[in-house]
Amino acid sequence: MMVFLVGKRRVLVNTSAKSVNTDFGRIDLAKIKKYGQAVKSSTGDSFVALKPSFVDLLKKAKRGPQVVTPKDAAQIVALTGAESGWNCLDAGGGSGFLSLFIANIVKPGTVTAYERTKESAEKIKSNAKLFGLGNIVVKNKDVLRGFSEKKLDLITLDMIGAEKMIKPCHRALKEGGWLAVYSPHIEQQLRCIKELDKLKMECATVENTRRFWKSKAGFTHPFHTQLAHTGFITVARKI
């Protein structure tokens, strides 16, 4: 089982390994039988074995091209109301970060991820395994050549040429279904909005900015350096 060992250091490990070395001693993993259990390292330091949360596991996930962060994936969920039982398509699967986030929300619904490179398609499969998400189907195909999925609740696009996908996505959505386009550059959003307008799909574009604050009594202020920009999201609904 995967455990998140929290003490003076934080480590995410699979207990199928015998032990793990930290700079606060070696921890014998065979001793860990359940979540919430306290363990001591060889130097006598205390750790607690927690059940890893979705965001803990993300730190262990394999990454390739720029991923959609949980902040933006959560925004897509907030704007579309994605919920358990939805069937979704994620085009431009990449490392699967967005697929994983959505699959975790919609299970037992499904996410079909289209990814044209074999290397990234394998990353999505291995990440889905790490998260124990059996509801992600990975198709190692160029989605611009066509896709067979129909009556979808949600389609997410994070790929070059997303604007060419708008028409086929409109056909593949069920009435009331949602389309969300993610891109780091506004130009791609504008190209997609032009296509959405042709189909008379109402849409809204958001930039989801977030600032972390240093919270210390008497010295509370935003951190001086922050990740200033990730991407834009346009959501549209088929009505």
Ligand X SMILES: C[S@@+](CC[C@H](N)C(=O)[O-])C[C@H]1O[C@@H](n2cnc3c(N)ncnc32)[C@H](O)[C@@H]1O
91 touches 165 (CB < 8 A): yes
Distances (CA, A) of 193 to 52, 109, 146, 196, 204: 39, 28, 21, 5, 9
Q: Which is nearer to ligand X, 107 or 116 (CB)?
A: 116
Q: Which is nearer to ligand X, 41 or 188 (CB)?
A: 188
State the number of binding residues for ligand X (CB under 6 A): 21
149 forms part of the interface with ligand X (CB under 6 A): no
Q: Which is nearer to ligand X, 32 or 124 (CB)?
A: 124
Residues 60-99 that bind ligand X (CB under 6 A): 65-68, 92, 94-98
Rounded-to-integer distance, Cα 58 and Cα 69, Å? 10
The residue from 153, 158, 163, 195 that contacts ligand X (CB under 6 A) is 158
Give SS3 for 212.
coil
147 forms part of the interface with ligand X (CB under 6 A): no
Query: Nearest approach, Cβ of 140 to ligand X (angstroms)?
Result: 9
Binding part of the chain for ligand X, among 35-43, 128-136, 137-145, 169-177 by CB under 6 A, reads 137-145
177 forms part of the interface with ligand X (CB under 6 A): no
143 forms part of the interface with ligand X (CB under 6 A): yes
68 touches 208 (CB < 8 A): no
126 forms part of the interface with ligand X (CB under 6 A): no
